[in-house]
């Protein structure tokens, strides 16, 4: 069935309440494991209905954020979401504290119980109303960004469409693009600062009501981290500064000289190849090439891409009032993934049918896993490992998208991915500092961002860029507003993806088989165990990033065109 035709029906909070109170009571009163498992079946039936309805409402809202029906439906799930989470935690507590827990862990999954322990630490009845307020603020930001328009050379367009000019081979065009972006953001400065300030304070209030020192610890529990903690991430950030930043700075500075640039500015960072980065064909050509690629890659990926295209499970056209980012989501009752993106005619359009399709392919592979509804694909670092690794497994097929420029794409893609590691780590460092110091002023937050830019991207200058030179680049990094502490998951996954890339260049078939095995596990193994099974060292281990950085730098030397 086409995604646009999937039926939607609101999941009433009254029905959710009745089911959750019933299954929790039955679990608490159970005299044997069998009674608990019978109650669990009713819980899973309700959860399937709720998740599917909420995901459909959210998706259709992001397709048109001014659609009155789905805007109201999305607001409804924002309103009831914290209550549903509270019910879920109470039900989980009944399982966690059950006298039959040992038997249940054997019958179900130890990882599931670890997840429930973390979820219990992330939720409290005392903060339900605060979480509703938080959701409303996130929606305000999303509405603001999706409705924002920019006028470039007489044409008015959303930010996603504007940013194609950030990759223009003409340096003057790139600079003008960022000048337009900066002036456009500055027109909304008061609202951008105000929304974020309110978000920081409501999150800090939630954390303190729950007994935490600040939001950082709670944020980690919210992200459902099962195999690493704040101290391990702090060590990872230091490893990035020591082992990756110098290598990236060397590579980007040398590459700038190839571009004829001595004064490397922020508006230069989007172009890597002299004469301009390679560009793919239009939407139809990209999807035709994607179908050929996935059909050639494996039987599983062939069946996947045919299903996605037949069900029209993509929306990739940039337009006003459409959410400005990109994502993959799935509707579990229909076992149907869906991808939203905003094509703009750059190589990023191809990244959508590799990165986001990596997420979708994983959802397809695990749709029938026993614990897919609760554990899904695992933590977000695992999810991003699926997607970022798929970007690299697509390399042998890039001629289908770029023809004779495929080699240029591979060099550009690898250098951009390697450069992302310091940037993504900087986003994480920024969030830690902000939530450790919630009373920072907007100007102090901007100054912090500039300070971190100097540490993590010392080769870049923002001088002369309207608004952005004040340290405001972070304001259109949507994750900072919408999903705090998510961004480091991309960075961790990028290190895993590079490991898969290096392995694939030695033996593609073996590396892809390891990737498929990792993807099919879903959330039934934690990330560090998945890496170990794939034969890779987790990036928290001392020295792991140093050796990886050296190998990637050497690879880029081989790929350079």
Confidence of residue 280 (pLDDT cuts 50, 70, 90): very high
Phi/psi at 64 (nearest 5 deg)?
Answer: -155, 95
Distance CA 370, CA 259 (A): 52
What pLDDT, on a 0 to 100 scale, did the predictor assign at position 541?
85
- Is 240:421 a contact under the CB 8 Å cutoff? yes
Nearest Cα to 338, choosing from 313, 362, 361? 313
pLDDT > 90: percent of the chain: 96
Q: Assess contact for 224 and 89: CB atoms under 8 A.
A: no
Question: Using CB atoms within 10 A of its CB, is residue 330 exposed (0-12), middle (13-18) or buried (19+)?
Answer: buried
Tell me what pLDDT residue 383 has: 96
Q: Is the per-residue pLDDT at 522 higher than 90? A: no
pLDDT score, position 336: 98
- The residue count for the chain: 561
| Tens-place pLDDT, residues 351-382 | 989 999 999 999 999 999 999 999 999 999 99
C-alpha to C-alpha distances, 321 to 134, 144, 159, nearest whole angstrom: 22, 9, 11
| Cβ atoms of residues 443 and 467 within 8 Å | no
Q: Tell me which residue of 249, 501, 281, 546 sits closest to 395, measured CA to CA.
A: 501
pLDDT given at position 561: 81
Structure-token match 């159970």, residue found: 30
438-486 pLDDT, tens per residue? Answer: 999 999 999 999 999 999 999 999 999 999 999 999 999 999 999 999 9
What Å distances lie between residue 208 and 124, 412, 433, CA to CA?
A: 11, 45, 17
Q: Where are the alpha helices (DSSP H) in 64-158?
A: 68-96, 101-107, 110-121, 128-147
Instruction: Flag whether pLDDT at 324 surpasses 90.
Output: no
pLDDT at residue 309, rounded to an integer? 97
Q: Is the pLDDT of residue 52 over 90?
A: yes
Nearest-CA neighbor of 271 among 119, 185, 166, 158? 166
DSSP state letters, 208-262: HHTT-SSHHHHHHHHTT-SS--HHHHHHHHHHIIIIIHHHHHHHHHHHHHHTT-S
> Residues 487, 277: contact at Cβ < 8 Å?
no
Q: What is the pTM of this model?
A: 0.94
Average pLDDT across the chain, whole number: 96
CB within 8 Å of 350: residues ≥ 6 apart: 280, 286, 398, 401, 402, 409
CA separation for the pair 370, 317 (Å, rounded): 35
Per-residue pLDDT of 111-136, as tens digits, reads: 999 999 999 999 999 999 999 999 99
User: What pLDDT does 44 receive?
Assistant: 98
pLDDT in tens, 230-277: 999 999 999 999 999 999 999 999 999 999 999 999 999 999 999 888
Residue 542 has pLDDT above 90, yes or no: no
| CA nearest to 192, candidates 259, 239, 143 | 143
DSSP 450-465: HHHHHHH-TT-B-TT-
Q: What is the pLDDT of residues 72-99, one digit of tens each?
A: 999 999 999 999 999 999 999 999 999 9
149 strand-pairing partners: 158
As a whole number of Å, the end-to-end CA separation of the chain is: 44
Once rounded to an integer, what is the mean pLDDT over residues 137-165? 94
User: pLDDT value at position 323?
Assistant: 87
Q: Report the C-alpha gap between 421 and 402 in whole angstroms.
A: 25
Contacts of residues 20-23 at CB distance under 8 Å and 24 or more positions apart, as own/partner, are 20/46, 20/84, 20/87, 20/88, 20/90, 20/91, 21/87, 23/91
- Does residue 461 contact residue 265 with C-beta atoms inside 8 Å? yes
What values do phi and psi take at 158, rounded to 5? -75, 165
Q: Which residues contact 557 (CB under 8 A, 6 or more apart)?
A: none
* Arithmetic mean of pLDDT, 499-508: 98
Inform me whether the pLDDT recorded for 384 exceeds 90.
yes
Q: Output the pLDDT for position 350.
A: 96
Q: Look at residue 543 in the predicted model and tell me its pLDDT.
A: 83
For residue 429, pLDDT over 90 is answered with yes
Distance from C-alpha of 435 to C-alpha of 429, rounded to nearest angstrom? 10
- DSSP class of residue 158 equals E
Residue 531 and residue 503 in contact, taking contact as beta carbons nearer than 8 Å: no
């Amino acid at each position: 069935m086409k995604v646009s035709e999937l039926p939607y029906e609101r999941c009433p909070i009254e029905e959710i309440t009745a089911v959750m109170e019933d299954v929790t009571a039955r679990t608490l009163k159970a005299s044997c494991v069998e009674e608990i498992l019978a109650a669990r079946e009713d819980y899973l039936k309700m959860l399937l209905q709720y998740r599917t309805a909420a995901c459909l409402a959210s998706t259709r809202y992001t397709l048109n954020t001014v659609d009155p029906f789905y805007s109201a439906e999305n607001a409804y799930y924002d309103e009831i979401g914290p209550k549903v989470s509270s019910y879920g935690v109470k039900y989980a507590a009944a399982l966690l504290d059950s006298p039959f827990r040992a038997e249940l862990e054997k019958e179900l999954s130890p990882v599931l119980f670890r997840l429930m322990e973390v979820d219990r630490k992330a939720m409290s009845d005392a903060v339900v109303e605060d979480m509703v307020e938080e959701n409303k603020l996130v929606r305000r930001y999303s509405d603001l960004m999706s409705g924002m328009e920019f006028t470039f050379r007489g044409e008015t367009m959303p930010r996603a469409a504007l940013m194609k000019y950030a990759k223009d081979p003409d340096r003057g065009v790139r600079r003008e693009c960022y000048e337009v972006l900066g002036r456009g953001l500055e027109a909304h400065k008061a609202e951008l600062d105000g929304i974020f300030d309110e978000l920081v304070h409501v999150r800090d209030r939630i954390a303190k009501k729950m007994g935490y020192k600040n939001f950082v610890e709670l944020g980690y529990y919210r992200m459902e981290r099962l195999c690493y903690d704040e101290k391990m991430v702090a060590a990872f950030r230091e490893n990035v500064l020591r082992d990756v930043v110098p290598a990236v700075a060397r590579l980007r500075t040398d590459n700038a000289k190839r571009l004829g640039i001595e004064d490397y500015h922020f508006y230069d960072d989007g172009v890597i190849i002299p004469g301009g980065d390679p560009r793919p064909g239009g939407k139809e050509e990209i999807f035709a090439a994607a179908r050929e690629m996935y059909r050639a890659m494996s039987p599983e990926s062939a069946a996947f891409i045919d299903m996605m295209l037949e069900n029209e499970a993509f929306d990739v056209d940039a337009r006003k009032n459409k959410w400005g980012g990109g994502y993959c989501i799935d509707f579990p009752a229909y076992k149907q993934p869906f991808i939203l993106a905003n094509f703009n005619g750059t190589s990023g359009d191809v990244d959508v049918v590799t990165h986001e399709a990596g997420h979708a392919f994983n959802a397809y592979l695990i749709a029938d896993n026993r614990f897919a509804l609760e554990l899904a694909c695992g933590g977000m670092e695992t999810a991003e490992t699926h997607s970022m690794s798929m970007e690299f497994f697509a390399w042998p097929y890039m001629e289908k998208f770029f023809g004779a420029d495929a080699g240029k794409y591979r060099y550009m893609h690898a250098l951009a991915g390697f450069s992302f590691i310091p940037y993504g780590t900087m986003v994480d460092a920024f969030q830690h500092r902000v939530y450790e110091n919630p009373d920072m002023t907007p100007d102090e937050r901007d100054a912090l961002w500039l300070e971190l830019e100097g540490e993590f991207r010392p080769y870049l200058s923002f001088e002369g860029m309207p608004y952005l030179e004040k340290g405001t680049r972070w304001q259109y990094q949507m994750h900072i507003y919408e999903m705090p502490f998510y961004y480091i998951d991309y960075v961790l996954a990028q290190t895993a993806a590079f490991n898969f890339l290096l392995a694939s260049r030695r033996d593609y078939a073996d590396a892809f088989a390891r990737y498929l095995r990792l993807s099919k596990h879903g959330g039934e193994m934690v990330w560090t165990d998945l890496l170990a099974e794939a034969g890779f060292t987790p990036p928290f281990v001392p020295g792991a990033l140093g050796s990886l950085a050296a190998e990637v730098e050497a690879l880029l030397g081989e790929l350079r065109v």
